[in-house]
Amino acid sequence: MVTASYISDNMARLDERAKDASVSIINEIGLDPGIDHCSAMKIIDEAKARGAKVKSFISWCGGLVAPEDSSNQLGYKFSWSPRGVMTAGLNPAKFKINQQVREVPSGALFANKFGNVPLYPGFAFEGLANRDSLQYADIYGLKLDDMDTMFRGTLRFQGYSEILDGLLKLGFLDLDPSTAVKQRTPFQFLASTIGLKAEGCDRSQVAEMLADKLNATASGPLVTRLLSAFEEFGMLGPNQARISAPTALDTLSQILQSSLKFKPGERDMVCLFHEFGIEEPDGSYNVQTSSLVAYGDAESGETAMARTVGVPAAIATRLLLEGKVQTHGVLRPTIPEIYQPLLERLGHMGMHFMETSKSGAHNSLQQKMAWN
């Protein structure tokens, strides 16, 4: 069996039974999770083989819209489920950075963004911590107590989190069934969620209510951006489509599925970036990176997300069929017999990881990432 999904508790419980039956179940074999594991383990295993210690691991990954097509307030369009994107932002997070363990409670992720993630001069990235990063020390065979930093995060273009945090505070990301919507237009949904009656309500009243709820000014930058976002979502215009959904978040997801979808000729982008702080046997310190940037094909409509999730899963399936995977049980692509041939075949298909190495820690991400 092959799946791109995370290993759930139920899946993990199948491990012994799969071993007893000589069955290999390969999980987490898409993009993130998936080829992020592969590229990480390649560097980690190479470091261990020469007697070095991984003191810092920082991993960023994002499924984004190509910069030239990012002209909306979110700087984002959906190549997968809007609901999945937004609920991921509601998760709590835990990570270690500069020898300190940090925790972000559920619902506070957008307010605790990394406001500048300087991976490349040409991309204005911000980022969000991705769930529990600490567990990956064990998954990758690293000793957390000996590490300064252990972090995994999600990339977005700058400005994304401010809008999502505003939507969260206004109630648009509510998962309570009491926020269910029946046969309402997008504007009726907007008005009722912020506490207004849709009949006779105009833009200025919406602005005043937004300002009141967010402790902002009606003409200030936050309210102005939110109003522009609602216009782009089709929630302030004459859109008369009727929506029914079980929660406020599901209603917003339906709206965004339509309003922020990719148009013909537009393309998505995937960026995966690992940084490793490595202490060598002679006591010197090196910073190594492994990165991949991929774009969708505007002509064919094939997305980078579909390719970077689907192709690794297909390669893993081929490896199983060819008898190349002899380890049994519930697996991730963290073992050489999976990640080595998978990375090789990805390279043959044009998905190459760029690797760099430089001496000293003074110019590392660990030193430059700004956390709100």
Point out the residues that are catalytic. Answer: 32
Q: Which two tokens stand for residue 8?
A: 């759930």
Q: What's the half-sphere exposure (Cβ side, CA atoms, 13 Å) at 175?
A: 10
Please, are residues 346 and 34 in contact by the beta-carbon 8 Å criterion?
A: no
Q: What is the dihedral of CA 90, 120, 293, 316, to 10 degrees?
A: -60
Q: What's the half-sphere exposure (Cβ side, CA atoms, 13 Å) at 270?
A: 25
How far apart (Å, rounded) are the C-alpha atoms in residues 208 and 281?
Answer: 62
How far apart (Å, rounded) are the C-alpha atoms in residues 319 and 313?
Answer: 10
Q: Which two tokens stand for residue 321?
A: 């069929």
Nearest Cα residue to 127 out of 104, 148, 145, 98? 104
Query: Residue by residue, what is the 3-state secondary structure of 262-284?
Result: CCCCCCEEEEEEEEEEEECCCCC
How far apart (Å, rounded) are the C-alpha atoms in residues 61 and 64?
Answer: 9
Query: Between vectors from CA 340 to CA 338 and to CA 346, what angle results, nearest 5°?
Result: 95
How far apart (Å, rounded) are the C-alpha atoms in residues 204 and 227?
Answer: 10
Rg from Cα positions in the chain? 22
Beta bridge partners of 275: 58, 289
For 344, residues 6+ apart whose C-beta sits below 8 A from its C-beta are none
